Amino acid sequence: MTATAFSRTNGSDIDSAYADRLVGLSIASVEKNFDPFRDIDWDSPDFAVDPTDTRWILPMADPLGRHSWYKSLPVERQIEIGMWRQAGIAKVGLNFEQLLIRGLIHYVSKLDNQDPEFRYITHEAAEECNHTMMFQEMIDRIGMKDVVGMGSIDMLLAKVITPAVNFFPSFFFTMVLGGEEPIDHLQKSVLRGGEELHPMVLRVMQIHVAEEARHISFAHEYLEKNASDLALVPKFALSVLMPITMRIMVSMIATPPREFRDKFDIPDSVMKELYWSSPESQRTLTDMFADVRALARKSGLINPVSKLVWRACGISGHESRYRSEPSRAAS
């Protein structure tokens, strides 16, 4: 299989409707963007970190936060776990976005002059840089010095990114969605839940969700256009790789690391139930990818074999009627 078979069309072949959507996303990035040190008042008294503040207790939207094992712990322990968990989620997000930035910059370096993707993707890379600074600032202020992110996994992903961008960019943007969709789904669930969160966590989450909406929108637009135009073999390969990628990435992004489990003596049985064997956690898992399943359908990536793979990965289910549709069980 040659590199050309997996490559997107040239910038000159981008249709006008797709180009118009990219221009719209670029304008939105200019008109509504956030600077982590201009738009967050880190030194506000409301943002002070108090290890006795019950707003650090994990919300019910977090799988661990609603589990009976966690709720049975003393309040002080729930707070400590909650602080580490919030810092850990931010660290994983930071690690993923650093990898994403590498891939985006490599991708735009290969674009032709006048390609409308250049401006939007560069906007997105700049926003992701701001997110990494925002996440690190929150981690440092929470004060959990031993918090870890993706660890050695990000080294493995780093080895995959460049070949994917070079030879199979549709797969690269599938990996992008695999990292963005789980975090976005969980954060939106927390925000929709209406529970009281620490103001610093709330503000960081609001900013991240607002800007990630554009990033996810672009990845959907890219795949809907380019995956549909792939040759038969790479299109079939992507149809199978998409559910596998989603399942692997959600385990990397949404499942707490071993260091967290060991630090707080979380029983293996609890972890197994939460990630992802119980009926409730299975619903959470399948709901995360309702938008991606709809995208796969629109992009011509659903076929008899890919259906079996979605099911084998445990993430088959309904397709969303519109992007970011709330869980039907909760609506």
User: Which residue did the predictor score with more confidence, 282 or 30?
Assistant: 30
DSSP, residue by residue, 122-153: HHHHHHHHHHHHHHHHHHHHHT-TT---STTH
**Identity at 65, one-letter amino acid code:** G
| Confidence band, pLDDT 50/70/90 cuts, at residue 1 | very low
Q: Encode burial over 297-308: b for 16+ CB neighbours within 10 A, e otherwise.
A: eebebbeeebee
Q: 99 near 154, Cβ under 8 Å?
A: yes
- Is 15-42+51-312 a domain of CATH 1.10.620.20? yes
Does pLDDT of 326 surpass 80? no
Domain boundaries, the chain: 15-42+51-312
Q: What is the pTM of this model?
A: 0.90
Query: 174-193, pLDDT tens digit by residue?
Result: 999 999 999 999 999 999 99
